[in-house]
Structure 1
């Protein structure tokens, strides 16, 4: 189990750190530009998503390129499609519920309830991450052999 936890931390922690910074910056910029807590909640959610999934897609493409190169195969558009499909399988259901309901709702209310914009945004992100990672990790584990094995194309 320790090995699995290390694998998940290597995969998700750098993306989480980038996402946290993007979430705070996106929410802060939107709040100061529009003076709307709703816009701040939505901007924070989507800025965090772009950073998070952009990093993971880049990481997956890099690993797939290495696997293809090791087997003397080209990295093609089809391979890129497999990378995107693997991310969709890994995160699809968790992301829909997270981005459209849980995360923006928490990011809207928690800064108000805590009396701290930055603290409320961070707390909202951490609480939303709990409901996000359980299905995401299960899907990741289920998709590894079928969608992430680029040496057997």
Structure 2
């Protein structure tokens, strides 16, 4: 279990940190520009998503390139499609509920309830992450052998 926890932290923590920065920056900028809690919540949600999934995709592409190169194969558009499919399986169900309902609602209400915008946004992000990671990690573990094997011939 220690090995898996380390693997999950290595996989998710850098993306989480980048996502937190993007979330706070986008939500803060949009709130300052528009004075709209709804717009700020949506901007924070989507900026965090772009940063999070962008970094994970870049990591996955790098790992797949390395695995294929070691076997003497090129990284192709088909391999890139396999990277995208693996991410979709890993995060699909968790992401839909998270991005469309849970995270925006928490990012809208928690700053109001706490009376502090940045603290509310950060707490909302952390609470939403709990409901996000349980199905995401389960899907990741179930898909590792089948969707993340890049050693096969082209």
TM range (shorter): over 0.9
Partner of 1:6: 6
Distance 2:33 2:141 in 1: 41
Partner of 2:79: 79
Matches within 5 A, 1:21-36: 21-36=21-36
Distance 1:31 1:121 in 2: 11
CA deviation vs aligned residue, 1:16-40 (integer Å, no higher than 9, x gap): 0000000000100110111100000
Distance 1:42 1:128 in 2: 14
- Normalised by the length of structure 1, the TM-score is 0.99
Distance 1:91 1:106 in 2: 19
CA deviation vs aligned residue, 1:83-106 (integer Å, no higher than 9, x gap): 000000000000000000000000
Gaps of 5+ in 2: none
| 1:152 Cα offset (Å) | 2.3
Distance 2:19 2:64 in 1: 23
Matches within 5 A, 1:36-51: 36-51=36-51
Matches within 5 A, 1:87-126: 87-126=87-126
Let me know the Cα RMSD of the aligned residues.
0.5
CA deviation vs aligned residue, 1:122-141 (integer Å, no higher than 9, x gap): 00000000000000000000
Distance 2:80 2:14 in 1: 21
- Normalised by the length of structure 2, the TM-score is 0.99
Distance 1:75 1:119 in 2: 43
Gaps of 5+ in 1: none
Distance 1:103 1:33 in 2: 21
SS at match of 2:73: coil
Question: Paired residues, what number?
Answer: 153
